[in-house]
Chains A and B, each alone.
Chain A
């Protein structure tokens, strides 16, 4: 199977979030488990500083010749009307480049991007392409709660256009059973078009020295740096209403006084002034100050591991998740974890008595208080964390994904696609598609110059298809 993986999720604004981590770890897992499949990667030159970074990150395991780079004209943000022509032209160039590379399957790491940045990914209807398309489905949260998560009419149009593209995909790979249920219910899909591949924590979590993370001078320095003076419960997430930071602060304030006074609450999230002010307001409402609740802002991975390993309890009170990676990372670091009983969090926590309904404040307070004060319960949570976290591995995720992709590649096309007879005809068709873009005010001459250069760069990229009955020989030819 010739598998082309779109790695733009590692280049755009998602690169530091769960999506970026997921795409990178899955790509590495697929390479480890390739088993004769020929895998190449697609990057986007509209993130020029990220192209080399991604290639360098994969350099130890895969050569530069396995990376293809889309050249297009930016900016291409879909939600910015003056960029509409460039947005459409970039998507035509993307589809043409993928068609030229002629993979059996295109795996899009993150389809729902490009509203506000230069990401370019699209799924054409099945009767307009020769290759199969699979995409990873993280969640359908904006679809289920559009009023909360989609701000403008333009954003709504863009999101529902992406939903339409997801429906065109031949295979949706959901990252949890909960996400798969949402996919089957709301897209809708069936078992032939949607599978669960699950998720896992980054590989380095398996090799952590927990003793050093808890006792080293660095660990003490990190705790002091953030003003952590007492045992603490912590929560890690993006600052989003569905993550329920406010509910957790209120639950902390309602803990029995001795329990609360013995613990601090550490909230790890990237802070912006508005969100910071909002959290401070909630703290003030409940009579809490900086010594009770620590707002760390964004912390690098090494510090995050120290916080995970030293926390008395990890709490994940989210209303809706696609997977819930922070819980799994905390469990790898030996932290007892409790969390929401909604969406995918129960799959990751894997224990009914560690769950609470985040809409039921009394239940939330009870579970947190028990986990902090009942030593037997706490010990059993720690033991469970050690064993349960190991049930999630990227190799398993990659093997599930490869099985689904290989099955997809083996399916016959429903009807043959007409292909232009030669390179000239292909170029003419491409230019005709670009000229047909209906977007005011249209392209400037600078846009056309840059696009001509981009098309030329894209034309130079090839992935020769070797006539071979076996995947193994195809792989060997590319190496």
Chain B
């Protein structure tokens, strides 16, 4: 039995039954996995679901989606729960087609938007030649931070030299 098998059982039980596998169920599912592979585990768990009469779900894609959602800090579990609720509601599911996939993309969209905004800000600053933060601080008389106490004398000297060189560049006059 490979270590990854246990991970697969954990994720599969959590995803399909929305709870953690206890020791007995873990052992049982590992035996099913060894005998019949991943499809057999998914089929066995599907049979234990309250909504087992619903059409079978696409095991791997769903696992990947839910894993991705739960990895999102803070809001991940709520997103996972929301996706589960919509999946279980035939009316909502009919409207949204693939709600799990849609909701799963929300944190990625937000992260993408944040990174994009930061990148665009940087590009814009460079394009219109905004003064750099260092130049603004120099203009306001804010000096560089003193060398960190943990720096060796050589590193502190290098730091001072770098600060001086950067200041000379930013304020050539």
A residues lining the B interface (CB < 8 Å) = 80-82, 84, 221, 224-227, 271-273, 276-277, 280, 290, 295, 297, 427-428, 431-432, 434-436, 439-445, 448-449, 451-453, 455-456, 459
Q: Are B158 and A455 in contact (CB under 8 A)?
A: yes
Which residue of A297, A436, A444, A449 is within 8 Å of B169 (Cβ)? A436
Contacts of A448 in B (CB 8 A): 144, 159, 162-163, 166
Supposing A81-B122, A81-B123, A440-B132 touch, asked if A434 and B162 sit within 8 A by C-beta, the answer is: yes
Q: Are A452 and B166 in contact (CB under 8 A)?
A: no
Segment at the A interface, from B10-18, B86-94, B148-156: B148-156
Contacts of A277 in B (CB 8 A): 61
Q: Are B37 and A456 in contact (CB under 8 A)?
A: no
Q: Are A456 and B34 in contact (CB under 8 A)?
A: no
Which residue of A280, A290, A452 is within 8 Å of B39 (Cβ)? A290
- Min CB distance B159 to A, Å, is 4
| Beta-carbon contacts under 8 Å, B29-47 to A | 33-39
What separation, in Å, do the CA atoms of A443 and B170 have in the docked complex?
Answer: 11
What separation, in Å, do the CA atoms of A206 and B68 have in the docked complex?
Answer: 39
Q: Are B134 and A442 in contact (CB under 8 A)?
A: yes
Contacts of B134 in A (CB 8 A): 442-443
Which residue of B125, B156, B162 is within 8 Å of A431 (Cβ)? B162
B119 at the A interface (CB under 8 A):
yes
What separation, in Å, do the CA atoms of A439 and B125 have in the docked complex?
Answer: 10
Supposing A82-B118, A221-B34 touch, asked if A273 and B61 sit within 8 A by C-beta, the answer is: yes
Q: Are A435 and B61 in contact (CB under 8 A)?
A: no
Main secondary structure of the interface of B (DSSP, over half): helix
Q: Are A82 and B122 in contact (CB under 8 A)?
A: yes
Supposing A81-B126, A276-B64 touch, asked if A452 and B119 sit within 8 A by C-beta, the answer is: no
B60 at the A interface (CB under 8 A):
yes
What separation, in Å, do the CA atoms of A451 and B151 have in the docked complex?
Answer: 11
- Min CB distance B46 to A, Å, is 14
What separation, in Å, do the CA atoms of A451 and B39 have in the docked complex?
Answer: 52
What separation, in Å, do the CA atoms of A452 and B119 have in the docked complex?
Answer: 26
Q: Are B125 and A453 in contact (CB under 8 A)?
A: no
What separation, in Å, do the CA atoms of A431 and B118 have in the docked complex?
Answer: 28
B75 at the A interface (CB under 8 A):
no
Supposing A225-B37, A440-B130, A442-B132 touch, asked if A452 and B122 sit within 8 A by C-beta, the answer is: no
Residue of A nearest to B128 (CB): A440
CB<8 Å pairs between A and B, sample of 15: A81-B119, A81-B122, A224-B34, A273-B61, A273-B68, A276-B64, A427-B161, A435-B169, A440-B130, A444-B133, A445-B145, A448-B162, A449-B159, A452-B162, A456-B158
- Min CB distance B133 to A, Å, is 5
What separation, in Å, do the CA atoms of A432 and B164 have in the docked complex?
Answer: 10
Contacts of B64 in A (CB 8 A): 271-273, 276
Query: Which 3 residue pairs are nearest across A and B when measured between Cβ atoms?
Result: A435-B165, A440-B126, A452-B159
B residues lining the A interface (CB < 8 Å) = 33-39, 58, 60-61, 64-65, 68, 101, 118-119, 122-123, 125-126, 129-130, 132-134, 144-145, 147-148, 151-152, 154-156, 158-159, 161-163, 165-166, 168-170
What separation, in Å, do the CA atoms of A297 and B162 have in the docked complex?
Answer: 49
Q: Are A435 and B168 in contact (CB under 8 A)?
A: yes
Q: Are B144 and A80 in contact (CB under 8 A)?
A: no
Contacts of B60 in A (CB 8 A): 271, 276, 295, 297
What separation, in Å, do the CA atoms of A444 and B101 have in the docked complex?
Answer: 40
Q: Are A431 and B165 in contact (CB under 8 A)?
A: yes
Residue of B nearest to A228 (CB): B37
Which residue of B122, B162, B168 is within 8 Å of A441 (Cβ)? B122
What separation, in Å, do the CA atoms of A443 and B145 have in the docked complex?
Answer: 13
Of A225, A290, A451, the most chain B CB neighbours within 10 A belong to A225
What separation, in Å, do the CA atoms of A227 and B60 have in the docked complex?
Answer: 13
- Min CB distance B83 to A, Å, is 14
Q: Are A435 and B166 in contact (CB under 8 A)?
A: yes
Residue of A nearest to B170 (CB): A442
What separation, in Å, do the CA atoms of A452 and B65 have in the docked complex?
Answer: 43
What separation, in Å, do the CA atoms of A367 and B22 have in the docked complex?
Answer: 51
Contacts of A273 in B (CB 8 A): 61, 64-65, 68, 101
What separation, in Å, do the CA atoms of A277 and B105 have in the docked complex?
Answer: 15
What separation, in Å, do the CA atoms of A436 and B64 have in the docked complex?
Answer: 46
Residue of A nearest to B162 (CB): A448
Which residue of B68, B101, B148, B154 is within 8 Å of A449 (Cβ)? B148
Q: A280-B61, A440-B132 are in contact. List 9 more A-B contacts (CB 8 A).
A: A225-B37, A225-B38, A273-B65, A276-B60, A431-B161, A435-B168, A436-B169, A441-B122, A445-B144
Q: Are B166 and A442 in contact (CB under 8 A)?
A: yes
Q: Are A435 and B119 in contact (CB under 8 A)?
A: no
Q: Are B151 and A453 in contact (CB under 8 A)?
A: yes
Residue of A nearest to B101 (CB): A273
Contacts of B152 in A (CB 8 A): 456
Q: Are A439 and B166 in contact (CB under 8 A)?
A: no
What separation, in Å, do the CA atoms of A297 and B7 have in the docked complex?
Answer: 15
Contacts of B154 in A (CB 8 A): 456, 459
Q: Are B145 and A227 in contact (CB under 8 A)?
A: no
What separation, in Å, do the CA atoms of A451 and B166 have in the docked complex?
Answer: 13
Supposing A82-B118, A436-B169, A456-B154 touch, asked if A224 and B126 sit within 8 A by C-beta, the answer is: no
Contacts of A442 in B (CB 8 A): 132-134, 166, 170
What separation, in Å, do the CA atoms of A220 and B44 have in the docked complex?
Answer: 22
Q: Are B166 and A440 in contact (CB under 8 A)?
A: no
Contacts of B170 in A (CB 8 A): 442
- Min CB distance B153 to A, Å, is 10
Q: Are A452 and B155 in contact (CB under 8 A)?
A: yes
Contacts of B36 in A (CB 8 A): 224
What separation, in Å, do the CA atoms of A272 and B65 have in the docked complex?
Answer: 10
- Min CB distance B116 to A, Å, is 11
Contacts of A443 in B (CB 8 A): 134, 166
Q: Are B158 and A427 in contact (CB under 8 A)?
A: yes
Contacts of A84 in B (CB 8 A): 122
